[in-house]
Structure 1
């Protein structure tokens, strides 16, 4: 028997992929017949401290802890725990600890490092999921720039907040009994640079999605009409943050190159970001590009139902939930040829891969060619749709993710 404490800390990441990871993992673990108690600990900050717990079912208890917000700037989205905060959290949770039962802390961000320090002090086990490849984000995939700073011990590098985050991640990995990596690329990086005491600490467990056919019982024609599309419009769909890192600039430019050859093609962009910037980029083709802004899960299901092709032109990913949602929905998928989409993703078998440079930037011309090719080839779209669903079922279900993670909890 194990008591699993899964921690959620206020951060931008929990509003994106980490939040999806949490919902799918905890939901799938609950369904397994496993000898463990699951405690979902949500941390937040406010003027008044607080503590509450609610038993969800015989396996799961949700705990909310409100910490004092003193010293936190208004609007600050990334809040790292301080050692005294971590010790207060341990005290508040003490009533749920049992000396006769193994205690496991599942951490998800470097912001939670002080909890790992205390877990080691109390002889608790630590499982850490590495959701973001920090060096890729902070150094824009420039490995030489990263290695230059990594080898340096100068004060400039020590003071750099981005570099410090990578140092904290290294410490967290060294504190963890088990590290969950979402991609082979990240596994190799941590094993090479983080001086782990045991290379077998790192376990490759890709993200998984609770099986759900997103377009089940949804009428494509009715949805298209309600959204202002024509029945014969060909919908290219992007879902995600609007940022350069996600390749949205290149996507819009690539789409605009082939419009004469795709007279009924429309680009539907779903997500938040610098809307003014992307509206200006698409001004010359504004009649063919639509922006929805933020969309909830129910509306995203509707967009998947009408999509003829999905697009993920990112510079860097770990294990994209958008990709999994599209695969499970049978949406033919075009992705950037980056490490996150290495095997089992196979070009022209279950996805279309677009050429990238050494920094992960998608080749604008090649993306437009691949978009046109998929637009013109209904047989290829049908093949990708069928094989994409097979790929999802073989490798990316939440049940598979939960079973592998549970093995780490109980080991």
Structure 2
């Protein structure tokens, strides 16, 4: 029997990309396996205190709780985590038939030790999708700074970054039999920075189920009324976690320049963040709180309504492994402004289906960069024909490249290449 175990983790990432990816993985591969099991690790003791097994729509779910209570926000390599993973390994093995053709599909770089233990015990294949790299968050995607940290870490935080990188490298080189990169730049980074054998890596871009519905002028008018936004107010939207990687601060600074030209403009900042980050960005927005709205997490149905009434979508991140939000905006026929970096510059062609800004790998940006950022926004707000052109081309790019059927076809072909005939 051919069995697939998708290794998941209870974290905020469930709400920001990886959870969606796992659902798409199941949909694509359901007919290719006799049994698919989703194994969720680090389930909080506040949710359940013992391992649970359930079936839903022919998919088996195994939830393995952690035995200690903390304010878990991300995986780490602590002593407690290693003990937990060792315990989770033995728990998982009680549900694995060693005689099956077993595949384990990991989605978190921090779980390399579990993969190595599985390889030691079983004749199986370990697949890892690289959704992110720890250092890209901590160091704002700055490769030069990473090299400096690896050569000579100067404080405990940098020591942690070096530890994380080493663990990731071991997982990639020794634990994973096959690696899925979600963008071309990821493939290049895995080869050059982590020194992974290129033959182990397959590039499969993310896909999105097309849920776009064309809204009439009257529909948009009613939606704006629903959200108390005047029909004539220019509306910008940002979606993502509130942290330095997403460059929310410089976006707010640029918007202040926009208001000098379009005084009724509004900026929606949709996404969650830590308490300190939120305080910082609220301070940045002062005293323009009637023009800048922090919504927190927005459910998908409401988010798509906001996309429908927005004039421009903005993704200014200094690092994106893929660029899921920008692709979602393109699906919704929204003209987009993105930073010319990593995954974002692979999905947008400057001047064709969107436009670039140029921001550096730092929390604060030079005033010239902020000024140029604001000028790009003002240019689009002043040119409705250009907005329409970018929106049409963005939608066309999505349909031809990132609609979910392409992801499904690529994933099925990838797994077919691994199966024993």
**Is the shorter-chain TM-score for this pair beyond 0.5, marking a shared fold?**
yes
1:215-234 aligned at under 5 Å gives the runs: 219-234=219-234
Q: Which runs of 5+ in 1 are unaligned?
A: none
Which residue of structure 2 aligns with residue 267 of structure 1? 267
> Is the Cα–Cα contact under 8 Å of residues 247 and 363 in structure 2 kept in the other structure?
no
Structure 2 match to 1:235: 235
In structure 2, C-alpha distance between the alignment counterparts of 1:241 and 1:141, rounded to whole Å: 16
1:336-375 paired onto structure 2 within 5 Å: 336-357=339-360, 363-375=369-381
Residue 57 of structure 1 corresponds to 57
CA offsets per residue over residues 110-150 of structure 1, 9 Å max, x none? 33222211221112211111111333322233322322333
* Structure 1 residue aligned with 2:194: 194
Superposed CA deviations along residues 166-189 of structure 1, whole A, max 9, x for unmatched, are 111111111101111122222112
Change (3 A) 1:359 1:204: farther
Deviations 1:15-35 (A, max 9, x none): 4232232233334444xx434
Counterpart residue number, 1:148: 148
Secondary structure at 2:208's aligned position in 1? Answer: coil
SS of the equivalent of 1:221 reads helix
Superposition pairs for residues 98-117 of structure 1, below 5 Å?
98-117=97-116
Matches for 1:202-351 after TM superposition, within 5 Å:
202-213=201-212, 219-273=219-273, 274-351=277-354
Q: C-alpha displacement at 1:266, in angstroms?
A: 1.4
Cα offsets for 1:22-72 (capped at 9, x unmatched): 233334444xx43453211122142874233232234x2222222422xx5
CA 1:115–1:245 in structure 2 vs 1: closer, same or farther (change >3 Å)? Answer: same
Alpha carbons 1:3, 1:102 under 8 Å: kept: yes
Checking the alignment, whether the CA contact within 8 Å between 2:357 and 2:372 is kept in structure 1 is yes
Q: CA deviation at 1:265?
A: 1.9
- Structure 1 residue 79: Cα displacement: 4.0
Name the CA distance, whole Å, in 1 between partners of 2:147 and 2:52.
Answer: 45
| Larger RCO of the pair (alpha carbons < 8 Å, separation 6+) | 1
- Tell me, yes or no, if the aligned pair for 2:236 and 2:314 is still in contact at 8 Å: yes
| Aligned residue in 1 for 2:134 | 134
Residues 1:119 and 2:118 aligned together? yes
Residue range with higher mean Cα deviation, 158-167 or 392-401: 158-167
1:380 to 386, 395, 398: 386
Give 2:71's aligned residue: 75
Runs of at least 5 residues in structure 2 that lack an aligned partner in the other structure: none
1:37 equivalent among 18, 35, 57: 35
Q: How many residues align?
A: 403
- Root-mean-square deviation over aligned CA pairs: 2.7
Distance 1:313 1:105 in 2: 35
Residue by residue over 1:178-221, the C-alpha shift from the partner in whole angstroms, topping out at 9 and shown as x without a partner, is: 1111222221121113233x321122222211221166689211
1:257 is displaced (CA, Å) by 0.6
Distance 1:166-1:216 versus aligned 2 partners, 3 A rule: farther
Distance 1:294 1:52 in 2: 28
For 1:220 and 1:346, the matched residues in 2 are separated by: 28
The separation in 2 between residues aligned to 1:85 and 1:15, in whole angstroms, is: 23
In 2, Cα distance between the equivalents of 1:244 and 1:5?
34
- For residues 367-409 of structure 1, the C-alpha deviation after alignment (integer angstroms, 9 at most, x for no partner) is 1011011101111111111111111122222332233233333
After superposition, the Cα gap between the structure-2 partners of 1:280 and 1:305, relative to the gap in structure 1 and judged at 3 Å, is same
When residues 392 and 138 of structure 1 are mapped into structure 2, their CA distance, relative to the original with a 3 A threshold, is same
SS of match in other structure, 2:206: coil
Contact map agreement 2:109 2:133 (CA 8 A) in 1: no
